Amino acid sequence: MATSAILVCAGLGAVISSTYSVKNAINDTIVGAHGEFMVALKYLILLLLFLFSFICHTFSIAFLNQINILICSPHDHKPLVNSHYLTQLFEKAILLNTVGNRLFYSALSFLLWIFGPVPTFLSSMAMLVLLYNLDFLSVPNDFSDEDNI
C-alpha cells in the first residue's frame, strides 16, 4: 500500500506539473468552480491524502521492524523488553496500518472526483459497503456460545 500510495503521488505530481498553470486562479470561486483553482485544489487534496497514507504505512512498517528487532535481541537484553511494551508497539503498528488503509481507500474514491461528483458519490457508497463488510463480522446462527461449552 505504501508503494502504491507513493506511485500515485508521483503520477499526480507529473500530471500537475504538465497540465496545470497558475492563471486567473483567484477569479473562480471554490464552490462549484470548474476553473484552474478548483482543479489545483482537487489535485492538492488527493496528493495530501496519498502522502499521509504513505506516511502511516511507513511508520507501521517501522514499528513492525522494531518489534522484530526487539524480539530477536540477545538474551542479556531481554529484561528491557517485556510483553507489555511489545504489545503497545504492535497496537501502534496496527492502528497506523488501519489509518493508512482508510486514507488510501478514501483517496481512491476522491480520485474519481476529477471526473465529477457522480463517480465520486458512487465509489464512496461502494467503499462504505466494502468497509462495513471488513469491519463487522457476521457470525452465523449455527455457532452459538452454548454449543462451544
**Residue-level pLDDT, tens digit, the chain, 149 residues:** 777 777 777 777 776 666 545 433 434 444 445 667 777 788 888 888 988 998 999 999 999 999 998 888 776 766 677 888 889 999 999 999 999 988 988 888 888 887 777 888 889 899 888 888 877 777 766 655 555 55
Q: Where are the domains of the chain?
A: 2-135
Whether the pTM exceeds 0.85: the reply is: no
Query: Under a CB-based contact definition with an 8 Å cutoff, are residues 96 and 63 in contact?
Result: yes
Say what the pLDDT of residue 144 is.
Answer: 56
Neighbouring residues of 15: CB distance < 8 A, sequence distance ≥ 6: 43
